[in-house]
Amino acid sequence: MEAKDALEMVRESILKRLPEMADAEITVKTEVFALPARSVSKAASVLGVEYARPLRTHAVRMRKVLKAEDGASVPRIVHAFVDDDGRIRKMVVSR
């Protein structure tokens, strides 16, 4: 995932669904998941390759405090899990 371009694409995709998150603070954390050797050999045989690459995901977090109609502050947090290609694989939104 190219940092700035992919992050902007993810941000725009989230804003289409949740326009109130326009000025939210954004943080990104990258994690690499190593597959067990048994899974790698099975995946490799199914895919017809010698090895399977480690899975890398980027956790994008958007946080903003919104004002409710009664004046109360309501924190809204969006977690989006993005692959190296910039596709959102999972998104969780607080209520």
pLDDT digits (tens, 9 = 90+) for 31-76: 887 655 555 566 566 666 555 566 788 899 999 999 989 999 999 9
User: pLDDT value at position 27?
Assistant: 92
Q: Judge whether residue 22 has pLDDT over 60.
A: yes
Q: Looking at the DSSP assignment, which residues form a beta bridge with residue 58?
A: 30, 82
Closest among 30, 46, 29, 27 to 38, alpha carbons compared: 46
pTM equals 0.70
Among all chains, which residue has been given the structure tokens 């977690």?
Answer: 79
Q: Judge whether residue 1 has pLDDT over 70.
A: no
* Structure-block tokens of residue 86: 């910039």
User: pLDDT value at position 3?
Assistant: 59
pLDDT digits (tens, 9 = 90+) for 6-15: 788 889 999 9
CA-based angle 25:70:11, to the nearest 5? 20
Domain range list for the chain: 3-93
Which residues lie closer than 8 Å to 63 by C-beta, 6 or more apart?
24, 25, 27, 75, 76, 77, 78
